[in-house]
Amino acid sequence: MKIKKLFRQRATNLMTINKSITYAEAINQGMHQAMQLSKNVMVMGQLIDYSSGVFGTTVGLVDKFGEKRVRDFPVAESLMTSAGIGAAVAGKRVILVHIRMDFMMYSLDAVVNWLSLWRFKSNKESNVPLVIRAIVGRGWGQGPQHSKSLHSWFGHLPGIKVAIPATAFDAKGLLLESVFGEDPSIIIEHRSLFGLKDKVPAEPYRVRYGKALVRKEGKDVTLVAIGCLVVDALKAAKILETQGISVEVVDPRTLTPLDKETINKSILKTKRLVVADPGWQSFGAASEIITLVTEKNMHIMKANPIRITLPDSHTPMSKNLEESYYFNEEKIVSRILEVIKP
């Protein structure tokens, strides 16, 4: 209750102190504020005490809060995750930094068999307030072991909330919401977003799970864009606007829980759907979103829904192949035209 009261007190000035900062700076600011708000908040991870601070997101934490609350770990993902779960069960609020989501896979036993099950097995009498920051690489030769965006995997797992923020504002707000919630959560951060700026309140605030945001209103087609693809989706919408096509861009912000109401409300207006998903095509988030729409509203659709995803292939390291592997606003434009002008 003390933390909630402090949030309310500090929220009174939010609208007057917005400042343009990068995605990485917003995460760093949120981590500092979480640790200031409660002495029970601690950070664990690899390279978190380096001067570069995990792409700038953990800079200054160990200097300000000390090594007891900022615990750097060796390359031992399973150990690190298990230790974080134990600390959370014991009463700490843990921010666990996995510098690459690919190598977080070494800790799957701890995540699947302990973290996701803890509240269920205790009938919610025991909490495990742990948030995992899982970073995904893209571009500049990241290759197949530094670039997996496995949001669909974890969205399939009951007991864990999954967020995939596209802006600096959401990155900070969802981090603070996760730290001071009682459910374990995974926040998937695309490294390509870390340098992008957004207006962010200087004071702490929370972005709720399960609340999608319409980034741009439109009437001809609904474009649901996930994570880093929100940037490309807005560029595509701007291009199509010059051609007389009005695109509504919906950013889910969180996948579990997913805001089905906002998505279906948009479909009732546009009657067309395109989903841009930074994951693989088969059995992905795009397929799930299309399914939830067609199960309820297929009878009103003017065209079959389309998903824009990565191919079912590992990420190539060659620059030329990499450029063809990923897609941008131009590909989104071409796919939207398919549902507008079939």
Question: Residue 106 above 70 pLDDT?
Answer: yes
Provide CATH 3.40.50.920 ranges for the chain: 213-340
Least confident of 47-56, 72-81, 134-143: 134-143
Among the ranges given (52-56, 92-96, 268-272), the one the predictor scored with the smallest mean pLDDT: 52-56
Out of 32, 98, 146, 190, the active site residue is 146
Q: Report how far apart, in Å, the C-alpha atoms of 300 and of each of 16, 225, 342 are.
A: 44, 22, 16
CA distance 133 to 179: 11
Chain mean pLDDT for the chain: 91
Instruction: Give the pLDDT confidence of 131-159 residue by residue, as tens digits.
Output: 999 999 776 656 666 667 889 899 999 99
Residue 17 confidence class, pLDDT cut points 50, 70, 90: low
pLDDT of residue 12: 41
Alpha helices in the chain (DSSP H): 2-11, 23-37, 53-56, 61-65, 77-89, 108-110, 118-121, 151-155, 168-179, 229-241, 260-270, 285-297, 319-325, 329-340
Residue-wise burial string across 49-64, b where 16 or more C-beta atoms lie within 10 A, e elsewhere? beeebbbbbbbebbee
DSSP assignment of 162-220 equals EE---SHHHHHHHHHHHHTSSS-EEEEEEGGGTT-EEEEESS-----TT--EEEE--SS
In the chain, what percentage of residues exceed pLDDT 90?
A: 76
Q: What's the whole-number mean pLDDT along residues 40-69?
A: 93
260/137: higher pLDDT: 260
Residue type, 224: V
- pLDDT at position 7 is 59
Phi, psi values for residue 319, rounded to 5°? -60, -45
Question: Does the pLDDT value for residue 8 go beyond 60?
Answer: no
Q: Mean pLDDT throughout 229-249? A: 97
CA distances from 68 to 62, 83, 116, 247, 326 (A): 9, 13, 26, 50, 41
pLDDT recorded at residue 253: 98
- Position 5 pLDDT exceeds 70: no
Residue with the bigger pLDDT between 103 and 166: it is: 166
| Burial of residue 242, with CB atoms counted within 10 A of its CB: 0-12 exposed, 13-18 middle, 19 or more buried | exposed
Q: Which CATH topology does 213-340 take? A: Rossmann fold (3.40.50)
Q: 309 by DSSP, 3-state: which?
A: strand
Mean pLDDT, rounded, for 149-173: 94
Asked whether residue 317 carries a pLDDT value surpassing 80, the answer given is no
**Do residues 306 and 339 make contact, with C-beta atoms less than 8 angstroms apart?**
yes
pLDDT for the residue 145: 66
Parts of the chain belonging to CATH 3.40.50.970: 2-201
Residue 32 falls in the annotated catalytic set: no
Q: What is the CATH number of domain 2-201?
A: 3.40.50.970
Average pLDDT over residues 218-245: 97
Q: How far apart are the first and last CA of the chain?
A: 55
21: pLDDT confidence band, cut at 50, 70 and 90?
A: very high
**What pLDDT does residue 306 have?**
96
